[in-house]
Amino acid sequence: MRVRQFLCLIGMAVGLSLPTVVRAADILPVQGGSPCHIRLSGSIAAGDAKRIETIVNSAEDRRPIKIEDSSEHRTVLCLDSPGGSYVEGLRLMNLMRDKGIGTLIERNAGCFSACALVFMAGQIEEEEALTFPWRHLHYGGRLGFHAPYYKTDKETYQKEEVQQLIDGLILTTSWLLQNSERSSIPVSLITEMLRYGPSESLNVDNVLRAGRWNITPYGASIPVNATERAANYLCQNQYIWERYDDYTSGALAREYIEENRLSDLYKMPSGVALKKTQSGIRVSVPGFPPEGTRICVVDFVLSKGRVTKVHQVWDFNYEEKRPPFAEGGEVPAWKLLPLNAVLHSLAK
């Protein structure tokens, strides 16, 4: 079934059973001096996806926007919304994918409920038509998720109305799960989000959740020191994000976090080695599964004694790696912070 037909079916099943919209969102193109090309402010309502699509299609040549170390983007949507229609939110998610629209939450802005799902669908198309997540959350912004819910003043319902509501919510959840990979939304986020009711919110407010769900914070100056301790923090974090949702290997990680035992998690393992390289300093942290055979290699690139870049890679025989740095991707500074570091506290 085509996406548009499926969304129409959801709308028919749900009817007016999702949160009532008091006032439609303001959707306006943005000129220079802002980190976005379009801004949505207010509650999401029917027709918003079409309004944004019209703006996107009418623009001939948009200025490139680059957020810190991210790739330049020419279509960025800023979001500041308490939520609104989940059905329209699904349409907006589909639009983010089809048009390759990036998403961003600015300082002091908030994005919740249906808006949060739209944010997670932010993407960029790179070379060879490959798409990657492009979603940025300012350290001073707010992002929260919860399950779709029914809001009404009615006190009694007909049997058919109840069944219609159930069908609509099932279809909504089904669409989210079926399209999570295409929208670059981790299934673990959706399943955890569904545990939160209308008066609750699953907030992305710390380093653990940002890294776990591949959300990029921005807007802070975070110093990095080329030390064994900093490298160990990064390696343990990367392993946690990789394994957190695995029932078996992630159990210990969840226990450390839930019982507030991060000091145990970050205990320095034996065999950590530091050496100078052509471009800076390399730290190798051994002892990772399977059976302690995997090594985490972190390269700190230095310029005038200051760390300018950090690279990280997993390996089994790192001594054969050629300098000057590990062949892993560049790592942002926030990934070297403790998992319980609060994003708001880092805003500059």
The domain ranges of the chain are: 3-218, 228-346
Q: Which residue has the higher pLDDT, 69 or 1?
A: 69
Tokens of 259: 């019982």
CA-based angle 319:271:317, to the nearest 5?
25
Taking CA atoms, 67 is separated from 107, 210, 261, in Å, by: 13, 16, 34
Q: CA-to-CA distance for 223 and 221, rounded, in angstroms?
A: 6
Residue 39 reports pLDDT greater than 50: yes
pLDDT tens sequence across 227-264: 999 999 999 999 888 887 765 556 666 677 777 688 88
Res 7: pLDDT: 47
Tokens of 206: 């710390």
The reported pTM is 0.87
Nearest residue to 118 via CA among 149, 56, 76: 76
Residue 325 reports pLDDT greater than 70: no
**Domain 3-218 falls under CATH 3.90.226.10:** yes
Tokens 């983007």 — which residue?
Answer: 73
Res 252: pLDDT: 67
* Average pLDDT of span 161-175: 78
CB 315 within 8 A of CB 251: no
> Kind of pairing, strands 38-41 and 123-125?
unpaired
Cβ-count burial of 198 within 10 angstroms (0-12 exposed, 13-18 middle, 19+ buried)? middle
